[in-house]
Structure 1
Amino acid sequence: MQKQVITKTLNFSVLGQPVHLLDDYPGWLIAQLHQQLGGHVITLNAEMTMQAEKNATLAEIIKLADLVIPDGSGVVLYLWLKGKKVKRCPGIELAETLLLYAGQLSKPMPVFFFGGAPEVAEKAAKFWQQRCPKLAIAGTQHGYLSPEEEQQLCQTLKEKQPSLIFVGLGVPRQELWIAQHRHLCPKAIWIGVGGSLDIWAGTKTRAPAWFRENHLEWLYRLYQEPWRWRRMLALPLFAWKALLSNFFRK
C-alpha cells in the first residue's frame, strides 16, 4: 500500500454540509495511518444533515472533520441531483475495510471499540479477533460511563495510543465526543460508527443486500427499531429541501 497522501477533491456542499468526493476512501485513510497523521471521519447522512441545521456545534465539527463520506442514501441521491454520480460509502463497510487491513499487517495497528450497551463493544472485539486473529485489540469500553469511568477511559486511550478508534454512541453524541477527545490520540483515525458495534456483536442485523442496493436500509432500521420514527421524520424534510435546492438551482 502506497504511503503518500491521496489528495482530496474540493468539498461538495450538501445543504450546507461538506462532503469529500474520493475514488478511494480506505486508501486515503490508510495513507493517513501510515504517515501517523490521524483524522476524524464523519459518516454523513440525511438525518445528520438535518440535525446540523439546528446544532451549530455539530455543524462546525462536520466542517472541521478531516474526511466526510457520503454514508446515507439521501446524501448520495442529493449529489446525483447535482450531477455528481458518486457511490454510497456506508460507514460500517469503510470501518470493516480498515479492520481487515489492520488485521493482516505484520506491524500491528491496534484498534479500540467504544460504545454500545454493556458487553456490546467486547463482543464486537471478539468477533473481529476471531475473524482476524492477527488484529491487535487495544481495548473496549461500553458507552454508559460514570464520570470516573470516562476519566479512566481517557487515561487508557492516552496510554495505549490505538491507531483506529471506533466510537458507537449515536449521532450527534459520538461526533461531539470525538471532537472533544481526539487530542488524546492525535495519530489515530477516529470514526463514529453508530450501531455498527451492535451488528458486529450480533445483537442486531444489518439490512439484507436488496434493501442496501435499493437505498432502503433506513426502512429496515425502522423495522428493527420502530422507536426511531420521530428521528426518521428528518428524511422527508431532507428530501423536500433537496428538491427545492435543485429547483432553484435550475
Structure 2
Amino acid sequence: MMSEKPEHFPVLGVPVHLLDDYSSWLISRLERRMGSHVVTLNAEMAMQAEGNPTLSEIIRSAELVIPDGSGVVLYLRLKGRRLSRCPGIELAETLLRQAGQLEQCPVFFFGGAPGVAQTAAEVWRGKIPGVAIAGTQHGYLSPEAELEFIQTLKDLQPRLIFVGLGVPRQELWIAQHRHLCPQAIWIGVGGSLDIWAGIKSRAPAWFRDNHLEWLYRLYQEPWRWRRMMALPQFALKAVVKNYQF
C-alpha cells in the first residue's frame, strides 16, 4: 500500500527510501491522517549522522528519507541504485500546491529570522489562493515563547508543518515535538523559507542540473566553507565503501 514504509537503501548507515514519486506517497498519508517525519538527506547530513548517534537514530526512525543531495544520488548509483534527486524545496512546493486543493489541510511555517516565515506564507497565499495557512513562527524563541508556541501548535493542529531551523536542529526539534500534531506531515526545509521569502535565491538550473548547487550556496554563504568540507569526505567514503564489496 502507498501508506506503508517504502523500501530503503543505506547511505553511510542511514536509510534513503526508494520511490519514484515521493509527493504522491506523502499525499496518500496526508489523506489518511497518518503522521510522518520527512528527512531531506544530503551528504553533509549523512556525515553529521556518522558522528551523532541521536541524529542517526532520528533519520532511521523517519517515515520518509528522500535523496535531497547530489552526493547521495551519486552514492546510490555507485551501489547500482539509480534514483533521481528529490530536492526538499521542490517536494515542499509540490505538497503546498496539493494542500491548496485538499479540504482541512492547514499549513504552518516555522523557522528563520523574525518576519521570514510570515513573508514566505504571504508569498504562498498569493500563489495558491486556496491554501490554508494556519500560522507562522520565527525560529528565535525564548524558552517562554517556545512554550507558548508549543501550545499554539497543539491548539491549531496543522496538517503540514515546514520547519526551517537548519541541520541538525530542525530534525532534533521535529523528533522531540511531532507528538504535538500526530496527524501532521513534518518536513525539515532548511533555508527554503529564506528562498520563498525572497531573501536568498536558489541556484540557477544549470548548477542544479550539473550537481553544483553546493557551489552556488558557497558563493552565497562563504562562511559555510568549513561545513562544505564534509562533501569531499563523503565522496571519499562513497568510493572506499564501493570498492569494499
CA distance in 2, matches of 1:167, 1:212: 23
Contact 2:5 2:63 in 1 (8 A): no
Mapped pair 1:241 → 2:237:
yes
- Deviation readout 1:33-68 (Å, 9 max, x if unpaired): 011011000000000000001111000000000000
CA distance in 2, matches of 1:39, 1:8: 10
Equivalence for 1:51: 48
Contact 1:108 1:135 in 2 (8 A): no
TM-score by length of 1: 0.96
In the TM superposition, what is the alpha-carbon distance from 1:95 to its structure 2 partner?
0.2
CA distance in 1, matches of 2:225, 2:127: 34
Of residues 208, 211, 215 in structure 2, which corresponds to 1:215?
A: 211
Equivalence for 1:225: 221
Equivalent AA in structure 2 for residue 63 of structure 1: R
Of residues 190, 194, 213 in structure 2, which corresponds to 1:194?
A: 190
CA distance in 2, matches of 1:37, 1:6: 8
Secondary structure of 2:244's partner? helix
Secondary structure of 2:74's partner? helix
Of residues 157, 163, 172 in structure 2, which corresponds to 1:161?
A: 157
TM-score by length of 2: 0.98
Mapped pair 1:104 → 2:101:
yes
RMSD: 0.9
CA distance in 2, matches of 1:61, 1:209: 31
In the TM superposition, what is the alpha-carbon distance from 1:244 to its structure 2 partner?
0.1
In the TM superposition, what is the alpha-carbon distance from 1:247 to its structure 2 partner?
1.1
Equivalence for 1:14: 11
Equivalence for 1:149: 145
Equivalence for 2:129: 133
| Alignment gaps of 5+ in structure 2 | none
Report the count of equivalent residues.
245
- Deviation readout 1:160-196 (Å, 9 max, x if unpaired): 0000000000000000000000000000000000000
**Which segments of structure 1 move beyond 4 Å, counting only runs of 4 or more?**
none
In the TM superposition, what is the alpha-carbon distance from 1:7 to its structure 2 partner?
4.2
Equivalent AA in structure 2 for residue 126 of structure 1: E
| Alignment gaps of 5+ in structure 1 | none
Contact 2:117 2:197 in 1 (8 A): yes
